[in-house]
Amino acid sequence: MPDPDDNSTRTRLLDAAAEMFYAEGVSVGVDALCRTAGVSKRSMYQLFGSKDELLAASLERSVPGYLAALLPTPETPADPVEQMLHVFRQLEGVVADPQFRGCPYVGVATEVKAPEHPVRVVARRFHDQLTEFFRDAALRAGATDPGLLSQQLTIVHDGTTARAVVQGGPTPGLALATASALLFAGGVIHDDART
Amino acid sequence: MPDPDDNSTRTRLLDAAAEMFYAEGVSVGVDALCRTAGVSKRSMYQLFGSKDELLAASLERSVPGYLAALLPTPETPADPVEQMLHVFRQLEGVVADPQFRGCPYVGVATEVKAPEHPVRVVARRFHDQLTEFFRDAALRAGATDPGLLSQQLTIVHDGTTARAVVQGGPTPGLALATASALLFAGGVIHDDART
């Protein structure tokens, strides 16, 4: 039996949970999760207490990686408009992946109906982090209303991921064009700078 | 035993399915569905063949009502801009309902992973109907690119419903402001007409 304090047991469970919850939905059973992770149910309950806590922990662990795939890197130009548009260029790549099954945070927030469930808290925190990034950049870019623009751009993120799922395919150019239109309407870019 | 050809048996199953799939997710069991509907499993299988077909039928039955809640009525001004904005005014009311748990079509498309599953087809058809409404109105309103604008407005629909779920509350004014910004950027309204 694996040692429940063993980091690799924990990691194997988090890996299995991340993959299976995303690919199959939150109704995946504990038996299947433990079988895939190669971990006993007893170890799972010792480490996480419940399936819900395992789900929340695996979702939380994924946030930095998901955000890193979208947010500017040191190579991205420092210009705040470029930094905001970077997110939507990246997003089009994310949704074009054949394994893409929707934004994991919106998906789980929709599937888990209790608003105070730990995974709902993780989803809200992800959302707030993304909006906060947009707000800071919009402020630096001189937006008329940075708070409004940041919420609008978050809507474009969520709506683009929804579209890719519903239509079952990528959204070439659409996220970028929509974000550009909102940056234009928000007083940040001029018409001739629209991509 | 109820007569499987009986319309009321069918209706009771569709009602129970609509309510339970929306409130609890697509993993609701056949036993629970049939118990709530007061219908035997045998009748359910005779009428629908499978739980998936029942899910698809209940989702499909809901589309006209969901669209009717959003789309213009005979009382809405005929002006195409007003007709498009009407959708977002209505949407803010839809997402403010404490029972709101996300767009049912996006939610199911995310939960059901197989792209050719019958419910995915229903979700896509709903999406296309909404986009088609926007495209016609955008064309009448003289949009620079009615096809693009109609997809952008559909993104605002989906993103607003996602936001209401993730944040666990209404989105006062946000859907309308975002749609107005896109109508402005799309050459349909002028700055001073933005609401």
User: How high is the ipTM of this complex?
Assistant: 0.93
Mind listing the pLDDT tens digit for each residue in B24-78? 888 899 999 999 999 999 999 999 999 999 999 999 999 999 999 999 999 999 9
For every residue of B106-157, DSSP letters joined together read HHHHHH---TTSHHHHHHHHHHHHHHHHHHHHHHHTT-S-HHHHHHHHHHHH
**Tokens matching residue A167:** 């239509």
Site from B163, B171, B195 to mutate, A interface, most A CB atoms within 10 angstroms = B163
User: Closest partner residue to A155 among B27, B156, B180, by Cβ?
Assistant: B156
In the prediction, which pLDDT does A1 show?
A: 52
Q: Please list, in sequence order, all residues whose beta carbon lies within 8 angstroms of the beta carbon of residue A195, skipping any fewer than 6 positions away.
A: A85, A176, A177, A180
A185 chain-B contacts, CB cut-off 8 A: 180-182, 184-185, 194
Q: How far is B73 from chain A (nearest CA, A)?
A: 25
Intra-chain end-to-end CA distance of chain A, in Å: 57
- H or E, element range at A140: helix A118-140
| CA-CA-CA-CA dihedral for B46, B50, B54, B55, to nearest 10 | 170
Q: How far is A2 from chain B (nearest CA, A)?
A: 31
Which residues 86-105 of A have a C-beta within 8 angstroms of B?
A: 101-103, 105
Mind listing the pLDDT tens digit for each residue in A49-83? 999 999 999 999 999 999 999 999 999 999 999 99
Percent of chain B at pLDDT > 90 equals: 87
pLDDT above 60 (res A123): yes
Q: Is A78 helix (H, G, I), strand (E, B) or coil?
A: coil
**Tokens matching residue B15:** 């009602």
Using the beta-carbon criterion (under 8 Å), do A178 and B152 form an inter-chain contact? Answer: yes
Name the one residue in this structure whose structure tokens are 């009428």: B47
pLDDT above 90 (res A149): yes
**What is d(CA A51, CA A27) in angstroms, rounded to the nearest whole number?**
10
- What does pTM read for this prediction? 0.93
Axis crossing angle, helix A7-24 with helix A104-111, rounded to the nearest 10: 80
- Residue A180: HSE in the Cβ half-sphere, 13 Å Cα cutoff: 17
pLDDT band at A114 (very low <50, low <70, confident <90, very high): confident
Q: Please list, in sequence order, all residues whose beta carbon lies within 8 angstroms of the beta carbon of residue A3, skipping any fewer than 6 positions away.
A: A9
Using the beta-carbon criterion (under 8 Å), do B110 and A127 form an inter-chain contact? Answer: no
Q: Where does residue A133 rank: exposed (0-12), middle (13-18), buried (19+ CB within 10 A)? A: buried
Residue type, B17: A
**Tokens matching residue B180:** 């107005």
